[in-house]
Amino acid sequence: MKLKIALGFALCAVAITAHAEKIALVGATAINPADGKVMPNATVVINGDKIEHVSMGKQDAAALGKQIDCAGKFILPGYIDTHVHFFQSGDLFTRPDGADLNSVRPYKDEVAWIKSHLDDTFARYIRCGITSVVDVGGPFWNFEVRKRANATAKAPRVAVAGPLISSVSREKLDLGDPPIVKIDTAEQAREFVRKLTEQKPDVVKIWYIVDKDHAVESFRPIVRATIEESHAHNIRVAVHATELETARAAVEEGADVLVHSVIDKPVDEAFVKLLKDRHVILCPTLVVFERYGRVFSHQLNLTREEQAWGNPEVIATLDVTKIPQDKLPQRIKDALAKPEEALDRIKKTYDIALPNLKKLDDAGVTIAAGTDAGNVGTIHGPALFREFQLMKQAGLTPMQILQCATVNAAKLFGGETGARVGKIDNGCFADLVILTSNPLDDIKNASEIHTVVKNGVVYPASQLIPAPH
């Protein structure tokens, strides 16, 4: 009879040898959001990097290989964050186009720090049970990030877009390889998409910005050309569009994904039907809408997960009162002077965004969880658990939220990998998260992570990142 290994014991050995032998997670409750099934006393057999077999009840021990006792635990597919930006750290200095603090920390130093800490960022995603992410826009070096992540054991699977095709320019982010590129004509758009296709992007991203100088219709021909050219190369298109009419125009032109909530007005029935009929995926990114305002007005309230698992160097920068007064951008001075206005703007955003999310989800629109991590105050990795809380606030059930972060998110990830993540099923990648509490009782339990399995390798969660000082 094979020896059972208690879940808290000898997992380091399992991590080293997982690819060399079959292992079985025995006795947990397996939760598969893909079909809504909850399987008590389940056995999940992992062979190499794939799930070989899932069953309930007592099994023939001889067929299981090395057994890991998971009694009292809960097994889910690894979480997926479908909206991150690796070119941004989440710290105060990462978007000089929004708040220019070059006099405190030159942007080139910020980017150098980001590149030198990629492995740490990857490990923090794994610590949070996030085994796949979609980077929806960054410089061309983003493609190197994908290559590096996919060659690193303690890293999520990474899908990427290259530079954002935009209606506006962002010169302060341009160090020679800009993450955002202003496109002025339809032909320029087609040429840029063709340039992107050489890098085999997983998705092409449009930054559809509307303001007093940029009307919805003026950029629409460029959106159409970008989508047509991308689709001609079998590449899907994601669009940043936070206004109802901008989002509507993007979907009418053929957008596959909307990467933010609509926040200017309630969605109407025609818009809901349009998204359903076109099978558009929507990523709400609720958490990011509160973070700039809270950071700049010195009212940031990071969650316990962010405080424990976020990069401490990043978090340390987010106290704006430590910046010399004479070096504070006007935007931050204004926010500090009237902090209540920042909270009021956030409330007004959520008063629209949360009901919109509930309406779209109730209608059967595919909702994929994502955070926009990397933006100021939106912490790589644990920001997803704040997103879960906001989705709960919108009225989604724990199972619906888990579906958004697994099976629905896998649809946005796309490709052959997307078909093999986000569910507990035979032949899927062995990317799993093992919890000590039931997330169906309360979604806050989704962060009670005991163990993470990535690519068939078993990691005790407590050993994945350095302990906070």
Give residue 8's pLDDT band: very low, low, confident or very high (50, 70, 90). very low
Q: Record the tokens describing residue 76, joined without a space.
A: 């889910």
What mean pLDDT is predicted for residues 174-200?
Answer: 97
- pLDDT, position 3: 38
Is pLDDT at 141 greater than 60 in this prediction? yes
Neighbours of 215 (CB within 10 A): 13
Q: What is the pLDDT of residues 294-337, one digit of tens each?
A: 999 999 999 999 999 999 999 999 999 999 999 999 999 999 99
**Per-residue pLDDT tens for 428-440?**
999 999 999 999 9
The full set of domain ranges for the chain reads 4-72+429-463, 79-413
Helix %, strand %, coil % for the chain, to 5? 40, 20, 40
pLDDT at 4 over 90: no
Do the two domains 4-72+429-463 and 79-413 of this chain adopt the same fold? no
Structure confidence at residue 15 as a pLDDT band (50, 70, 90):
very low
Mean pLDDT of the chain: 94
Residue 6 has pLDDT above 70, yes or no: no
pLDDT at 37 over 90: yes
Q: How far is CA 200 from the centre of its chain?
A: 20
Please say if the pLDDT value at position 468 is more than 90: no
- Strand residues in 19-129 grouped as ranges (E): 23-32, 37-47, 50-56, 66-69, 74-77, 79-84
The pLDDT confidence band at residue 62, using thresholds 50, 70 and 90, is low
- Identity at 287, one-letter amino acid code: V
357-383 per-position pLDDT tens digit: 999 999 999 999 999 999 999 999 999
Q: Which amino acid is at 298?
A: H
Q: Could you give the 3-state DSSP secondary structure of residue 267?
A: coil
Question: Helices in 253-287 by DSSP H: which ranges?
Answer: 269-277
Question: Model pTM greater than 0.85?
Answer: yes
- What is the CATH class of 79-413? alpha beta
CB neighbour list of residue 165: distance below 8 Å, 6 or more residues apart:
181, 183, 189, 192, 193, 204, 205, 206, 207, 222, 226
Q: Which pLDDT score, from 0 to 100, does residue 372 have?
A: 98
Task: Check pLDDT > 60 for residue 18.
Answer: no
C-alpha span between 412 and 460 (Å, rounded): 28
**pLDDT (tens digit, 9 = 90+) per residue, 202-256?**
999 999 988 888 888 999 999 999 999 999 999 999 999 999 999 999 999 999 9
Give me the CATH topology for the region 4-72+429-463: Urease, subunit C; domain 1 (2.30.40)
Gap between the terminal Cα atoms of the chain? 44
Query: Is residue 284 scored above 80 in pLDDT?
Result: yes
At residue 261 the predicted structure's pLDDT band, cuts being 50, 70 and 90, is very high
Q: What pLDDT score was predicted for residue 379?
A: 98
Tens of pLDDT, residue by residue over 69-111, are 999 999 999 999 999 999 999 999 999 999 999 999 999 999 9
Give the whole-angstrom CA distance, residue 104 versus residue 409.
38
pLDDT score of 215: 87
Distance of CA 62 to the CA centre of its chain: 39
Which pLDDT belongs to residue 467?
76
Q: 339-362 and 383-393 are packed helices; what angle lies between their axes, rounded to 10 degrees?
A: 70
